Amino acid sequence: MALSAVALSGCLASKKSPSPASGNVSHTALATMERVALGARQCWFKSGDPQFRQYTLAPELVSYTGRPRILVVPAKNPNDRPLLVVQAEGNPGRMERFGPLMQSPLSERIERDTARWASGQKSC
């Protein structure tokens, strides 16, 4: 009996607990939009990307409506209407993008980049 208890404890000790991996990403609306905001800030704005140089990022992640979002606004007039709104709702977060930039040549890139960041990838 003592031998089987030792064998059992050896088996239990060898089990690995799941390690945090990129596949272990929260998909709530807030977590999704936090990842998108970080990606946009790093890849579109801090990098000095010429396609986004004339804009600035206005994250609105604290949302009482359950729709955290980021806004892309004109850099020279940040109080103007947003040119892009990216928001998510629900769990898992369903993301939507709208605004004038989604009818511009940047729309495909915005779709690709935001989908990649929402999935947990950090690459630009």
SS3 annotation, 60-103: ECCCCCCCCEEEEEECCCCCCCCCEEEEEECCCCEEEEECHHHH
Strand partners, 58: 71
pTM assigned to the model: 0.78
Please report, rounded to a whole number, the percentage of residues in the chain having pLDDT higher than 70: 81
Query: What's the rounded Cα separation, in Å, for the pair 28 and 78?
Result: 28
* pLDDT tens sequence across 57-80: 999 999 888 899 999 999 999 999
Average confidence (pLDDT) over 1-5: 43
Q: Return the structure tokens found at 12.
A: 């239990």
